[in-house]
Amino acid sequence: MQRRHFLSSALATLATPALAQSVATTDGIRLRELYDGHDLSPLAQELMGQRVSVMGFMAPPLKAESQFFVLTKMPMAVCPFCESSADWPNDILAVYTKRTVDVVPFNVGIYAEGILEYGEYRDPETGFVSMVRLVDSVYA
């Protein structure tokens, strides 16, 4: 068991929910921790609707001056986007921000923090379909 999972589990058991949520937010989770095969992991299901921090890499944007980007588990020089929710890969996460995204080089690791949501959503401007996403997000 990884240390952060142990600490999160222990705090969830012993402490208030707000404190356990704080650990998940400040520690950051990896994209692979959100998925169990092509399904959501138990951790992702537990964190749904909560503010979380996820580590990854910004994929090249679909269009300039967008308010969303895709977080990938590995640096990608080309877009890993899919056509439908049935093809949703288990190593990406859509990240929706309030402001226009300032593009970060594809090979620089970032943290994206936002509210974790699940369910099919089609972006009205690009047609991009996401199954899992962060909303009301910031990144650094």
Q: Is 117 exposed, middle or buried (0-12, 13-18, 19+ CB in 10 A)?
A: middle
Q: Which fold has domain 3-139?
A: OB fold (Dihydrolipoamide Acetyltransferase, E2P) (2.40.50)
Rg, Å, the chain Cα set = 15
Q: Report the C-alpha gap between 64 and 108 in whole angstroms.
A: 19
* pLDDT for position 113: 97
pLDDT at 79: 61
Look-up: residue for tokens 């690791």? 109
CA distances from 71 to 11, 14, 38, 45 (A): 28, 32, 17, 19
pLDDT along the chain (140 residues), means of 10: 40 34 57 88 95 93 86 78 53 91 93 95 86 94
- Structure token pair of residue 109: 């690791």
What's the Cα-to-Cα distance from 77 to each of 119, 132, 134, rounded to whole Å?
Answer: 27, 22, 22
φ, ψ for residue 130, nearest 5 deg:
-120, 150
Its pTM stands at 0.75
**Which residue shows structure tokens 């609707």?**
49
